């Protein structure tokens, strides 16, 4: 098959051809569809130097000017929403409908949100009358930021880093996942059309061990924002430690969904199904452990399995498709492997992998990386499938008796990214939410995000928070100025 796209690095406002490439696969067909630069030290060095040079002028632009340019980015991106959605689907495997409804609109909103937020920042000040001094603070941009984004929500999460970074007056070198690089490559043209000065945003493509490592270790990059696996984050912390770099790490999760016997199942079940299988279960916030109080366990399980079987797995471009292909062959094999592990650990598979027939697919998609939503019961809390992040369309459901019991069990993992609680008792939702070890807890809902609120995880799910106030704090250094007035 002829390669359809050859991606180039975006350095200093220009596309730069690569000397060598790696293959990128269309998850829905299993065929190579793009060539991605296999960047290394030299490409990273060129990008960092471009960002350093651009920082000298970009850091001095007014918030109003940065706001204007960022709103222009949003406008241009929004005008190309359909094309970006199609490419995001082709590259990642998700349904086009999901990319059109969620991924690309959120990327647009990221720029608009942070463009407006920088116009309303406030400083603090104090008067020292007895010393004749005035103190005030300033939030200063820092320099070149390393922005490393994952493959599950490619443009959505990359722009969630770029927008606050450049809004604060920094410049950046981005390293998207080598498995989903195409929309980041397309973004370079958008940035140029919007009038972003050369070097403010640079995008390097390649693998983590080669391009990512060179960027993390670079002495002229004082900031690192990373979203991805906990294992990779550990390596980033080790490599960056000698340089005292600022780190923001948004990592994995093993998120509990807790259903009490007074929950409104007509709302709970469809939302729980969506929270388990949205984006093929490839969202760090997906529910992967569902604890159901015994009084409604049988009813919930029956309705949940029924809902899971209604999820249409199919070609990503079809309007009726709810769930597309997993991102890669290796990842699909890993996820399916967990289902086999669940069986060996004593679990029962009720639907999906190994139980139901494979999805019905058009001929050209029969080699794609598809699997059906899979529901497992009967596993102990210490089993691998209840402890480890699977990151796919596999959910484990288990009963519980009391509130105190389920809080302890829900917290008994190394992760602490998010959780959801379902109950008609308002007091209980507050009480349980406050005791769960999670950065975000949704009560009687899921995946409702206000960018004014901090986002991040506890324990092995991350370090730091992202959001209006928190991102600005990360991407700036606070300076105190003391002036004697007499």
Instruction: Compute the distance between CA of residue 58 and CA of residue 298 in angstroms, rounded to an integer.
Output: 59
Residue 115, Cβ density class (10 Å: 0-12 exposed, 13-18 middle, ≥19 buried): buried
Active-site residue among 174, 257, 284, 351?
Answer: 284
Active-site residue among 8, 250, 282, 389?
Answer: 250
Q: Give the pair of three-digit tokens for residue 215.
A: 């960027």
* Residue 314 backbone phi and psi in degrees, to 5: -165, -170
Buried/exposed code over 269-296 (b: 16+ C-beta within 10 A; e: otherwise): bebbbbbbbbbbbbbbbbbbbbbbbeeb
Any residues with CB less than 8 A from the CB of 306 and at least 6 apart, and which? none
Give, for 331, the enclosing helix (H) or strand (E): helix 329-344
Helix crossing, 426-435 with 403-410: angle to 10°?
Answer: 30
From the list 320, 389, 362, the residue with the least C-alpha distance to 152 is: 389
User: What are 238's strand-pairing partners?
Assistant: none
Place of tokens 């490559």: 185
Residue 403, Cβ density class (10 Å: 0-12 exposed, 13-18 middle, ≥19 buried): middle
User: What are 126's strand-pairing partners?
Assistant: 135
Residue 45 among the catalytic residues: no
Residue 302 among the catalytic residues: no
Secondary structure letter of residue 210 according to DSSP: I
3-state secondary structure of 365: helix
Residue 123, Cβ density class (10 Å: 0-12 exposed, 13-18 middle, ≥19 buried): exposed
Place of tokens 């389920």: 406
Place of tokens 């109003």: 64
Contact 149, 174 (CB under 8 A): yes
CA distances in angstroms from 215 to 67, 148, 242, listed in the order given = 28, 9, 14
Any residues with CB less than 8 A from the CB of 7 and at least 6 apart, and which? 18, 24, 34, 35, 36, 37, 181, 182, 185, 205
Beta strands in 334-473 (DSSP E): 348-351, 374-377, 394-400, 415-416, 418-422, 440-443, 458-459, 462-463
Q: Give the pair of three-digit tokens for residue 264.
A: 């409104």
User: What are 194's strand-pairing partners?
Assistant: none
Q: Which residues are catalytic?
A: 250, 284
């Amino acid at each position: 098959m002829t390669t359809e796209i050859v991606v180039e690095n975006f350095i200093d406002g220009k596309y730069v051809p690569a000397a060598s490439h790696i293959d990128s696969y269309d998850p829905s067909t299993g065929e190579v569809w793009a060539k991605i630069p296999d960047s290394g030290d030299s490409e990273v060095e060129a990008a960092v130097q471009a960002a350093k040079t651009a920082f000298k002028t970009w850091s001095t632009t007014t918030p109003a000017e940065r706001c204007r340019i960022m709103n222009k980015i949003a406008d241009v991106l929004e005008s190309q929403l359909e094309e970006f959605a199609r490419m995001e689907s082709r590259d990642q495997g998700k349904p086009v409908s999901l990319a059109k409804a969620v991924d690309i609109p959120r990327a647009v909103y990221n720029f608009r949100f942070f463009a407006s937020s920088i116009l309303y920042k406030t400083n603090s000040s104090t008067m020292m009358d007895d010393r004749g001094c005035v103190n005030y603070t300033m939030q200063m941009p820092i320099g070149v930021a390393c922005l490393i984004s994952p493959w599950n929500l490619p443009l959505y999460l990359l722009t969630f880093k770029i927008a606050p970074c450049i809004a604060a007056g920094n410049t950046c070198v981005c390293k998207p996942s080598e498995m989903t690089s195409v929309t980041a490559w397309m973004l370079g043209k958008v940035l140029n059309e919007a009038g972003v000065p050369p070097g403010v945003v640079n995008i390097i493509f390649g693998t983590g061990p080669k391009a990512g490592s060179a960027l993390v270790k670079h002495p002229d990059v004082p900031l690192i924002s990373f979203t991805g696996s906990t294992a990779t984050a550990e390596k980033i912390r080790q490599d960056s430690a000698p340089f005292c770099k600022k780190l923001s790490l948004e990592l994995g999760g093993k998120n509990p969904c807790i259903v009490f016997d007074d929950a409104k199942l007509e709302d709970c079940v469809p939302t729980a199904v969506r929270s388990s299988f949205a984006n093929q279960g490839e969202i760090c916030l997906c529910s992967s452990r569902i604890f159901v109080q015994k009084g409604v366990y049988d009813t919930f399980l029956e309705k949940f399995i029924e809902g899971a079987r209604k999820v249409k797995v199919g070609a990503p471009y079809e309007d009726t498709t709810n769930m597309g292909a997993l991102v890669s062959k290796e990842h699909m094999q890993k996820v399916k492997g967990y289902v086999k592990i669940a069986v060996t650990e004593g679990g029962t598979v009720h639907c999906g992998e190994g139980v139901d027939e494979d999805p019905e697919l058009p001929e050209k998609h029969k080699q794609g990386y598809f699997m059906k939503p899979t529901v497992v019961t009967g596993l102990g809390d210490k089993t691998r499938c209840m402890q480890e992040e699977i990151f796919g369309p596999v959910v484990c459901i288990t009963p519980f008796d009391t509130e105190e019991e389920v809080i302890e069990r829900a917290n008994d993992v190394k992760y602490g990214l998010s959780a959801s609680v379902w109950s008609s008792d308002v007091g209980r939702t507050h009480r349980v939410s406050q005791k769960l070890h999670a950065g975000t807890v949704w009560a009687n809902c899921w995946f409702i995000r206000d960018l004014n609120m901090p986002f991040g995880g506890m324990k092995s799910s991350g370090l730091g928070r992202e959001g209006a106030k928190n991102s600005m704090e990360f991407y700036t250094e606070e300076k105190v100025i003391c002036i004697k007035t007499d």
